[in-house]
Amino acid sequence: MTSRVHRRRIRKSPADRRAEIVDAAASVALAEGLEGITLRRIGERLDVRPGLAGHCFPVVDELVAEAFGQVVGAELDALVPPGRAGDTPSNDSRASSHSRPEKVMTHSAACGSTPGT
């Protein structure tokens, strides 16, 4: 008979939980590629049930898109720091319009909400 160690559950705000899930997905994407992002893989990475990630992202493609946006945004920030000397407003528009997790969200930050509600 196996016993499980029961950890105390930590309740996080929907925005914090969502950000944690996106961070984990971005980490998986960098290590394994976008195809490595699955609800089961994210659940393993965060040591939570896959259903929690599914609650925040009912469609895994939305999670993949946000993770991609976060990774690309970080890469752009590393390559083209905002406010770099010599940038003109037209040249700097890339830096302000590239993907950020908060800009990539396809629906509200509350877990479980659906687009248009």
How far out from the chain centre does Cα 95 lie? 19
Higher pLDDT pick, 5 / 23: 23
Q: What is the pLDDT of residues 19-57, one digit of tens each?
A: 999 999 999 999 999 999 999 999 999 999 999 999 999
Q: 101: closest CA among 16, 19, 12?
A: 19
Q: 100: closest CA among 82, 74, 79, 61?
A: 74
Rounded CA gap, 109 and 37, in Å?
20
In the chain, domain spans:
14-82+89-103
Q: What is the pLDDT of residues 72-114, one digit of tens each?
A: 999 998 898 677 655 555 554 444 444 444 444 444 444 554 4
Span 61-80, average pLDDT: 93
Report the 10 Å Cβ neighbour count for 115: 9
The CATH T-level fold of domain 14-82+89-103 is Tetracycline Repressor; domain 2 (1.10.357)
Structure-token match 């990539």, residue found: 104
Predicted model pTM: 0.65
